[in-house]
Every structure is written in structure tokens, then in C-alpha cells.
Amino acid sequence: MKHVALSRLGRRSEPPAISWLMEVALSRPQMISLAAGFTDNETLPVTDARELVDEVLKSRKNGRPSLQYGMPAGDPRLRTLTARDCRLKDGAPAENKAYSADRMIITNGSQQMLYMVTEALCDEGDIVLVEDPTYFVYLSILQSRGVRGRGVRLAEDGIELEHLAAVLERLKKSGEIRRVKFLYLVSYYQNPTSVTTSFAKKAGALKLLKQYERAAGHPIYLLEDAAYRELRFRGADEKSALAVKGHANRVIYAGTYSKPFATGLRVGFGILPEPVYTAAIRIKGNHDFGTSNLPQQLVAHAIGSGRYERHLTELQRRYAHKARVMEAAMKRYFPAEAGWWVPRGGLYIWARLPKTMRSGMKSKLFQTAIGRDILYVPGELCYVDDPARRKPDHEMRLSFGGGTEANIQAGIERLGSVLRKMFKAAKR
């Protein structure tokens, strides 16, 4: 046979890096993985979920809708509760239309939301601006859909606005600004760096994007991925980009109940402006004509009964503790050459090594670490292909989410000893 029958998308789709990392971890049971983005296993709300199932299915009459098909936009009660929660977090008044339940879609995890927005806005060859580094699974979506990415440098309080301006200007000069559809920001306790974008920077980014709309010939959106917003354990919450006055019609907000409640339920959501909302609803109709009803009902009841809030408070305490355990171990076992930002929420610490110390999949460091049964996410995976720079290859994402305290400590001790040996050897 001369050709495969796969579509361009089918042919382009590569095995996700994360499945390879998971395979390695599974094939070596003694392996300590600091790579997986799993949430804390011990606090998963098993008892709460059992009670919630009982509550939802208590009577035939009330139980039936959760076992029936629903609406593509999702359960109306959950949409209302979620929209209200987003509004209250931002301190916005009830009449603020940006947080209307009519702009809300409940999705199968926020991952589906990210996918649908990309489908709704991007053709092959279009450009999405991303943080440098960013959430690597999102990079796979772009890559498989033939969408190009361009990186915007990241500081401790979010993207560098001067660099965003420079990237936009360069794209305008090259005539490619017409292909730019949106800026994707993982704005709270970012995966992979744990950086939070300040509200001022969100406002600044929206202003800049607006300035280039005339040259682009169409709106340029901000896709705010707030997947980790609720996992805050230090400092105050930042308002979302929806709260930037006069710009809500350019903001697409993606959130999730995965991280703050149960990853296994995969209930996510999005708030979208028109015409993206209508396009996304139609796309959702084609994907699955609506997120499974039972998990949506469980989440709605968890919120209504106060269980959600209680569980979240416990989770925040738990992650604060695990982050402290990881950081203390890093201080103790990592060589002085390594640096990191102290996380204020989320699941990750992003460790930086001197640029001469490679950390990528093919590096001696990564291979030695695997040999010692320790796994991390190589930083290079989190950088988009961008002709304007070489991919940095001296960082690693370390997750304190899934492992036990003992695992985190042992993993960091082992990784620290590999690092110290490598540095000693490099100095000789």
C-alpha cells in the first residue's frame, strides 16, 4: 500500500511525552516519580463521593436526570454555581455580565475546554502565543493540529510584557500577525514553574493584544487557564482577566474541579465570549453532546452541601505541607548551583541548573537519574518550537502532588546525590 489512511492530524499526533514518562515509572516499580502531575492520592474524597452518590440517587425522581443525557452546555445548576464562584472570587457585583452562567460551558476536564477553544479559533498554520515555558500537554494539542506557537518570556510575576510587545511587533513586521489568534496563559501557580501572573500583567497583556487587532484584522483573545487557582496555600488570590475593565469580551477563562476536588471526575468548565461561545457549544455537540451528567451532579452537590469547600481547605493545608517537605529536602540535598522559585500554590517546583548542565531526555543527568530510579520532567519538554531562540535545556519540573512525604524526601535525596556527582565531575 502506498499511503496510510490517516489524516494530517492523525499522522502528526505523536505519543505524548507524559505517556512515555508514565511507562518508565510503571515498568520500574522501585522508581520514584517526581514527574507525574497527579494530585494527592491519600486525600481523594472517597467518603464524600460515596455520600454524594447516595444523595444524588436517593430518590428515583431526583436520580434520573443524572443518569440521562444532558445539555451540551452542561447542568444549569452547576453552571450557575460555578459562574457565581468565579464572580465572587474576583469580587465582581452580581450584575457583571462577564460572569453570566449563559457564557459558561461545563466540559470533560478543562483539557477538553483547551482543545475546543483551539479547534474553534485555529486553522493549520495559525499562531498561538504561549508562556516560555508552558504546560507541555497543551503544546501537543498545538503540534498535532499544525498550529504554531511563539514563546513569551516568563518572570516571577508572569510574562514579560516588553517581550510580548517585541514578539507582537516582530509578527506584525513579518506579516504573520494575521495568523495570531490568542495568548495562552496558565495564570495561577503555573504548570510547570508555579509562577502566578499578576492582575496588572493580565491587564497589560490584554491592552497590548488589543493594539495589534487592527493589524491582525480580527480579535486576539487571551485564553486564561486557571487550572491551579484553587490550590493556593500562601499569599492572596489574584483576580482573573475577566475582571479587567472593558476587556471581558476578549477573555476565555478555563477552570476545573479536577485539582481542587477529584481528578477522576474530570469536570472542567469555561467562560467564553461570543462568537467563540457558540462555536465551542457546536463543537462540544460534535464531541460528546454534553459532559457526563453524574459527575456534574456530584460536583454540584459537593458545592451545595459544603463538602467541596471543606475538602479544599484540607487539600490546601496538605499541599502547603508537601511543598515545604520538598523544598526543605532540596535545600538540604541539592547542590548550591541549583535555584528555584518558592511555590505559593499548585503542585510543582521548577528547578534551574546552570545553563551548562543539560537536563533533557538525552542528557547524562536524565539517564543517570533513571538509572538511579528517579524521574523528573525535563524542562525542555515545556518549551514550544520557536525559531527565535534555542530551547533551554537546564531545568526540571518536580512535582510534590502525588507522592507521599517519604517518597518526596527520598526522591529529592537521590536526585540531589546524582546532581552533586555530576557537578563534581563537571568541575574536574
Contacts with ligand PMP, residue ranges (CB under 6 A) = 37, 109-111, 135, 186, 191, 225, 227, 256, 258, 263, 266, 268
Closer residue to ligand PMP, CB minimum distance, 135 or 383: 135
Q: Which is nearer to ligand PMP, 44 or 57 (CB)?
A: 44
Spatial separation of the C-alpha atoms in residues 196 and 224, rounded to whole Å: 12
Q: How far is the CB of 223 from ligand PMP (least distance, A)?
A: 11
Shortest distance, position 263 Cβ to ligand PMP, whole Å: 6
Q: CB-wise, 295 or 416, nearer to ligand PMP?
A: 295
Which strand (E) or helix (H) includes residue 324?
helix 307-333
Which residue, 108 or 409, is less far from ligand PMP as judged by CB? 108
CB of 255 to ligand PMP, least distance (A): 8
Residue 229 C-beta: closest distance to ligand PMP, Å = 11
DSSP per position, 5-36: ---HHHHHPPPPHHHHHHHHHHH-TTPEES--
3-state helix, strand, coil in the chain (%, to 5): 50, 15, 35
| Cell 501557580, residue located | 189
Grid coordinates belonging to 189: 501557580
Nearer to ligand PMP, 96 or 198 (CB): 198
Bridge partners of residue 223, in order along the sequence = 184, 252
CB of 194 to ligand PMP, least distance (A): 11
Q: Minimum distance from CB of 394 to ligand PMP (Å)?
A: 22
Distance separating alpha carbons of residues 318 and 324, to the nearest angstrom: 10
Q: Which one, 264 or 275, has the nearer CB to ligand PMP? A: 264
Q: Which residues contact 419 (CB under 8 A, 6 or more apart)?
A: 334, 335, 338, 353, 365
Nearer to ligand PMP, 21 or 338 (CB): 21
Nearer to ligand PMP, 333 or 350 (CB): 350
| CB closer to ligand PMP out of 37 and 378 | 37
C-beta of 284: minimal distance to ligand PMP in Å? Answer: 14
Strands (E), 202-337: 221-225, 251-256, 267-271
Minimum distance, C-beta of residue 265 to ligand PMP, in the bound complex (Å): 9
- Residues forming beta bridges with residue 349, ordered by sequence position: 398
> Three-state SS for 403?
coil
Closest residue by beta carbon to ligand PMP: 109
> Which residues are CB-contacts of 423 (< 8 A; sequence separation ≥ 6)?
335, 337, 357
Q: How far is the CB of 418 from ligand PMP (least distance, A)?
A: 26
Q: Which whole-number Å values give the CA distances from 130 to 18, 158, 384, 412, in the listed order? A: 19, 11, 8, 30
